[in-house]
Amino acid sequence: MVRQKIQIKKIDNLTARQVTFSKRRRGLFKKAHELSTLCDADVALIVFSATGKLFDYSSPSRFHF
């Protein structure tokens, strides 16, 4: 069974858009953490919401100075 491709377009409903942003941001940060852990890589993400709020993620540093 093949899944149909969904069309990517802007979500018109503001509340639904904010909820979707929040859920996808959490998923993106989780994937970044998994990549960092599995591949022993340093990962950093910077995301701005539609309202201009900053969200960031950085993997734990493995370097000690």
Q: In whole angstroms, what is the distance from residue 33 CA to residue 11 CA?
A: 27
* Residue range 1-59, pLDDT digits in tens: 788 998 999 999 999 999 999 999 999 999 999 999 999 999 999 999 999 999 999 99
Residue with tokens 């890589």: 41
60 alpha-carbon distance from chain centroid: 17
Q: Is the pLDDT of residue 65 over 90?
A: no
Q: Is residue 8 part of a domain?
A: no
Q: Is residue 65 part of a domain?
A: no
For residue 40, give the CATH number of its domain.
3.40.1810.10
Q: Is residue 24 part of a domain?
A: yes
**3-class state of residue 55 by DSSP:** strand
pLDDT at 6: 87
Give pTM, 2 decimals. Answer: 0.80
Q: Is the pLDDT of residue 64 over 60?
A: no
**Nearest residue to 46 via CA among 35, 36, 37, 57:** 57
**Nearest residue to 43 via CA among 54, 55, 56, 59:** 59
